[in-house]
Amino acid sequence: MKLSLFKSGISQFASQAGFDSRCAHSSFLALNTGTVTAFARTPTDQIRADAERLSHIILEMQRCFVLRLCKQLAPGNVSFPQFFLLAYLDRKEVLSMSEIAKKMGHTTAAASGLVARLENLRYVMRSVARDDRRKVMVCITPKGSGLVRGIREEMVGNIMKILNHLTPDEQKAWLQIYSKIYDYCQSK
């Protein structure tokens, strides 16, 4: 009974949308996208519906993590771009201003302003390169490394809480998928 009502609903929807209602029951796939159920006519439509669902999930995850990160950064008066630069410097130790500008997607002048604010907070230090005095080098201070380590530790704790809700196979799959996404993002 429910299936026939579903098929008749699909047929009615299809005819209103201008599709051939005789094949509507076989050409539409119901997709549960969370808040909305969409109907995909083709695999491309399915991919689009999945992408829309993933965009919703990503935004919600970012909101969750960014709110926590924002609360952690607020006492130190550090912005997100500044924190991302600190995290990168913590891994690389020393970078030139041109390398920072490239990594952050800024002009060298904008990167210089970003570094100046971090320098005023004593999270980074500038120096001149030994081989070329025109080249400005930036390194993270122990205070900056401490901020990065503290926030990373909090993030690891939050991710561990999430992982505890997943089976070991789901944990492994999540890591593999995120690693692949990370590699893709790094190649851009």
Position of tokens 């201008």?
18
Q: How far is CA 34 from CA 9, 39, 44, 77, in A?
A: 20, 13, 19, 37
Q: By mean pLDDT, which of 33-37, 129-133, 183-187 is the weakest?
A: 33-37
Residues carrying CATH 1.10.10.10, the chain: 77-143
For residue 161, is pLDDT > 60? yes
Give this prediction's pTM.
0.64
Q: Which CATH architecture has domain 77-143?
A: Orthogonal Bundle (1.10)
Higher pLDDT, 68 or 32: 68
pLDDT at 15: 43
For residue 25, is pLDDT > 90? no
- Write the pLDDT tens digit of every residue in 75-122: 767 888 888 899 999 998 789 998 999 988 889 899 999 999 999 999
